[in-house]
Structure 1
């Protein structure tokens, strides 16, 4: 449980991080703690025939090497457990790195040495690789149909049939995933690197057959996650199991190589878009088919086709979802899931349609703007997309872009744009606010700090609601013994936990008003002889979760427009981001500073996806090609210009929650890839539909075309 006491112009949790006082999962070392490492299968497919643990157990400092024979049978696992087929449950090897043993030792070094001494025997089989796995309809996902797409395609003046691909990508959080588990009788405490501690409680309780009240999850600080720490992964359950067997606390913190296989990654995704349009570019039909890889025994579906059901005014829509089973571990959501991949395909196709029709891509989007939700006709709870288009075009100078120089030394200059959009994830939550006799205020909510500044936002919300100085607000967070609230993913934290905190503050306000004295809060409590007023607040949504306002009369999404200028060196295929303008419509912006930082990070994230990032499956052996960071390319400071212009449409969405806000964290990461691809085409005439846009893909295209499309 963490508290702090800071002025609002300073990030609430920042001093803890800057001084090194912030404690992460691996920083916790209960008395007698053992260190655990996982021993993984050396092949990607086959059967486990034996684990020789003798040399591992004989390694100095090693106390035990656990195999399937030592582990208990776990209880029923349900979502949000990432996998329902736990490692050690049978002798089938489904992916390289699948845990087959756990080494326990007095130190991390001893555990690592013990792991190196364990010998795993297996009968290898041929792995299923990306693009060659068994393909089937996505489990639990029905085909969406609106209108007659076949007729629209048959009668259209113009038809496009295009396929866009993006590779797998790993999250690569600075803090790898890890769990420290301690049993006190039947009570389990875990210090866990997670994004949703409240959901860990139920999964661990089910796995061990104990009451949820006997599980406590502590996680004030999470060192990055991007979705990889959203579900509950096997290592969290295995750490607790090992601690129970050993009779001592166990710290199981994944090594960097384990991070590739012990938790998820964004899957390989192939999307085919078929557009039917009139001669002027008016959409008549969209068909969007998505395939993503999943594991052999467990299911993950990336519902990217949802993007096409909500974006444009079109009378006929059909979406289909498939999965391809391959010899890899299970994928998981990655920052900007659903629309992140979906908008890459849809917005790229819209840019290609604009070229085919001969209209400005901005005008094409304005002409097909959806004034109501295309899939069901509901009105939007709030949508400032037209304003975002207009303001973004003005700030960028979009309308006169080609009147500016098209070259800069060896660089050819291209311009691209795309729409940004994310669905609205809303989770229920509970919070508590205490107004104390000295006039200070305490906020209690079991939310996590993952770097987005939520503690600062909660401080500001309470200060606004109660009319107090933010400097007197203390925030307590990161512990499931505090009021349970929603997760720190899906861009849902501010709207959900923020609304719960606002409700609790309003409860305090009502109690204060009932005292009937018109003085400052501290004096009111003193006159009433009350030590504190305690307010409880809830944010509720029907069925425990709401996506895009499904349980309301309103369709809820966030919106934006991204404009980018990209330099392309045709001789080397190199790309440089020169500037970007993003304007966003996302309800009330609680804290402009943290919001702008989130959107800036999203643009950088999108640039990395567009031009650098991929994880390769080795095609012969089926394992991840490089399970380290030595050849992982991500943007660094030198890749990003200072000219990133981020702004927001002024709005307040009263339907989304109690504070008028909607999620923003992932919105900035959508659309960037499509805008970058359009800018590359604008610069050198090369159309890349397979991310990332690497130099060789540009160079190969340029070799057959030595001028830009407009002759520049």
Structure 2
């Protein structure tokens, strides 16, 4: 494959193959150590004390009983904790401020900003003693008026401010007038609840001070910026902090931010001069780590009698915390998915006295596509058109807003293949017409969409005289197989055996890697890897020029093929080992990638030319019990365009995992917030229902595996597109099975009965 990112046309020996993850053995045998599993002499344990009011001030603290617990070393509150700097303003020189989940300066203030805010930390010789002591800390408050009811505050929503990364309003034409004039319309209101992060590894930190030097073991999605921010908060040089995160037990955005657990573990370590481990309980994660915002959405569509869209309106109201939180790109997919001469998109927010929300797998797009794709299905019913046909009639040739080129778009191909494989022609379009005994059977589809991007990050590649290759970058392995994919890419780019490549990652002492977010990590690393390999080839040829008799003398990099552990033109060439040995060198090393400024320049330049995205077609079959309303997803097929597939097994796993998470969003997941007190009332997996094996059918995945010519090695990103469209595909299948359009997630029995 040839792209502007590759210097030569490569034969791939490893890219695309379904290889097992290289870290799989360590994780399945227990060899891998996560953040809460590193032993240190004198290790202590910490536990958090959480506020029990939504807003107010602490007027008194009683720690006597807590300090009396055997093994307790300290109880830190705002009255006795060491000073910690507040978060600094965000700007280009200090982008690390973006990784802070809230603006609260923990234990430096008597203010309470949400119900569950950490307001004290206990430190003890054992975790049991720390937890018991935390339960004995008594706090007295003066309560202040708090606003915590999202639904009641919809009327007070304010327009969301736009940013360089996200526009809050967009449009063209006169969508309200076109809607009013359209012969066929739908106008629907959708709601989605808050969602909580439930990674298999709850957040944990092990912090060890040695004078002004700090070692932190942390499950992180953003090592570089977290390190930089810890240096600021604790007033120590960045080079004196080492943040280690080789294994992350799952993360979907929640570990991209710096939350109270990390900051207070480091603070407690400094206060006690002992190593401290703070492992959050599952309940503490709910009260301390932000999740997905709830939403209220309106999607209104107007169409001509032949199914051509004449108006598309998508508006949203979302929630942020009064002390932090990120607005979501809820209407993003509506900018790009369908051609219409009149489009109006607008996002609003409601600041509340609640734990700030944060990124969660496909933020905005996951819930935004639920509304848009449900409305498209409803419009198909009004028109008497097949839902796939309606989508194909409105598939754009260029981006609907602005007219930019689509760098890579295979939605038509995804639907065509999916319809054939899923047996879509067997679907009787009449709602409630397909039955199997007591089960009502329904089939639904939806389009998956997630923007594609690259982020700043560096990759260093070392080529040794023994033929070995070491790839080094402080990237993050959260279970998606990035280290394995990078090994495959490096082996192919340099033409060496897979076993010759070793990848070092998850350590802030390495070159700074990209944030693991936005489905951008692998593409960002690929760009740096290709650049570093290009520099290495030029260095190798520079050595060859000084070597009489070399068959490579006088050749350019683009005339050579990397294979068999060296560079060749046809049958003539030499191994890297031979070239380096002749030159008396034990290794060559090069670095590729971009820093923050280079990334910004690149992003601005490319945004003027292209719209990039991963896309797909989601096919769902459900069975609904006509007596009880029980919904069972019985079949699933996802056909995706994620550009070039680096590892067929890990890509399928990522997409399958996103679909499973989407099934939870569609059928069971919701964070329940008491509208009187702001307290989360279901903070455990016993009451917050994620999908289990019995809820998940066989999920078939197919990738079109067609490279995007504008991306490094042609890959686009697969981590988040899998969840998009899932909620709508389920809702559309339920609509087909029962005749009922559910616009309020999750789809529970009470919303379906009576049938």
Question: What TM-score comes out, normalization by structure 1 length?
Answer: 0.94
Per the TM alignment, residue 266 of structure 1 is displaced from its structure 2 partner at its CA by 0.8
Per the TM alignment, residue 565 of structure 1 is displaced from its structure 2 partner at its CA by 0.9
Q: Does 1:426 align with 2:454?
A: yes
For 1:183, the equivalent position in structure 2 comes to 209
For 1:708, the equivalent position in structure 2 comes to none
For 1:118, the equivalent position in structure 2 comes to 137
Q: Distance in 1 between matches of 2:452 and 2:50?
A: 38
Per the TM alignment, residue 583 of structure 1 is displaced from its structure 2 partner at its CA by 0.8
- Counterpart of 2:160 (choices 135, 138, 149) is 138
Per the TM alignment, residue 414 of structure 1 is displaced from its structure 2 partner at its CA by 0.4
Q: Which moved more, 1:442-451 or 1:519-528?
A: 519-528
C-alpha contact 1:560 1:582 (8 A) present in aligned 2: yes
- Measured against aligned partners, the alpha-carbon deviations of 1:284-329 in whole angstroms (never above 9, x if no partner) come to 2222111112213324212201121111111222222122233320
Q: Does 1:31 align with 2:41?
A: yes
Gap regions ≥5 residues in structure 2: 1-16, 89-96, 545-549, 551-572
Q: Distance in 1 between matches of 2:266 and 2:638?
A: 45
Q: Does 1:40 align with 2:50?
A: yes
For 1:655, the equivalent position in structure 2 comes to 710
Relative distance call for 1:115 and 1:73 in structure 2 (3 A) is same
For 1:305, the equivalent position in structure 2 comes to 331
For 1:97, the equivalent position in structure 2 comes to 116
C-alpha contact 2:118 2:260 (8 A) present in aligned 1: no
Alignment of 1:62-461 (within 5 A): 62-71=72-81, 72-77=83-88, 78-125=97-144, 127=146, 128-133=148-153, 134-140=156-162, 142-402=168-428, 406-461=434-489
C-alpha contact 2:60 2:139 (8 A) present in aligned 1: yes
The DSSP-based 3-state class of the residue aligned with 1:647 is: strand
C-alpha contact 1:588 1:652 (8 A) present in aligned 2: yes
Q: Which moved more, 1:619-628 or 1:379-388?
A: 619-628
Per the TM alignment, residue 601 of structure 1 is displaced from its structure 2 partner at its CA by 1.4
Q: Distance in 2 between matches of 1:461 and 1:699?
A: 52
- Measured against aligned partners, the alpha-carbon deviations of 1:506-557 in whole angstroms (never above 9, x if no partner) come to 3223322333342222222222221112121114686635779853511111
The DSSP-based 3-state class of the residue aligned with 1:519 is: strand
C-alpha contact 1:81 1:232 (8 A) present in aligned 2: yes
Q: Does 1:57 align with 2:71?
A: no
C-alpha contact 1:466 1:506 (8 A) present in aligned 2: no
The DSSP-based 3-state class of the residue aligned with 2:713 is: coil
C-alpha contact 1:75 1:208 (8 A) present in aligned 2: no
C-alpha contact 2:201 2:248 (8 A) present in aligned 1: yes
Superposed CA RMSD in Å reads: 2.0
For 2:743, the equivalent position in structure 1 comes to 689
Q: Distance in 1 between matches of 2:324 and 2:458?
A: 32
Per the TM alignment, residue 126 of structure 1 is displaced from its structure 2 partner at its CA by 5.7
Q: Which moved more, 1:493-502 or 1:354-363?
A: 493-502
The DSSP-based 3-state class of the residue aligned with 2:198 is: coil
Q: Distance in 2 between matches of 1:22 and 1:438?
A: 28
Q: Which moved more, 1:547-556 or 1:224-233?
A: 547-556
The DSSP-based 3-state class of the residue aligned with 1:584 is: strand
- Measured against aligned partners, the alpha-carbon deviations of 1:312-363 in whole angstroms (never above 9, x if no partner) come to 1112222221222333201111111121111011111111111111111101
Q: Does 1:567 align with 2:652?
A: no
Per the TM alignment, residue 243 of structure 1 is displaced from its structure 2 partner at its CA by 1.6
Per the TM alignment, residue 445 of structure 1 is displaced from its structure 2 partner at its CA by 1.0
The DSSP-based 3-state class of the residue aligned with 1:579 is: strand
Relative distance call for 1:620 and 1:352 in structure 2 (3 A) is same
Q: Which moved more, 1:623-632 or 1:254-263?
A: 623-632
Q: Distance in 2 between matches of 1:419 and 1:41?
A: 42
Q: Distance in 2 between matches of 1:368 and 1:547?
A: 29
Relative distance call for 1:540 and 1:279 in structure 2 (3 A) is farther
C-alpha contact 1:66 1:103 (8 A) present in aligned 2: yes
C-alpha contact 2:460 2:592 (8 A) present in aligned 1: yes
For 1:479, the equivalent position in structure 2 comes to 507
- Counterpart of 1:506 (choices 534, 543, 554) is 534
The DSSP-based 3-state class of the residue aligned with 1:641 is: coil
Q: Does 1:624 align with 2:624?
A: no
C-alpha contact 1:424 1:549 (8 A) present in aligned 2: no
Q: Distance in 2 between matches of 1:118 and 1:667?
A: 45
Q: Distance in 1 between matches of 2:503 and 2:608?
A: 31
Q: Distance in 2 between matches of 1:675 and 1:319?
A: 22
The DSSP-based 3-state class of the residue aligned with 2:523 is: helix
Q: Does 1:17 align with 2:39?
A: no
- Measured against aligned partners, the alpha-carbon deviations of 1:362-403 in whole angstroms (never above 9, x if no partner) come to 011001101111121110111111111111111112123229
Q: Which moved more, 1:256-265 or 1:285-294?
A: 285-294
C-alpha contact 1:66 1:101 (8 A) present in aligned 2: yes
For 1:557, the equivalent position in structure 2 comes to 613
Matched length: 693
The DSSP-based 3-state class of the residue aligned with 1:535 is: strand
The DSSP-based 3-state class of the residue aligned with 1:300 is: coil
- Counterpart of 1:637 (choices 693, 697, 701) is 693
Q: Distance in 2 between matches of 1:175 and 1:208?
A: 26
For 2:588, the equivalent position in structure 1 comes to 533
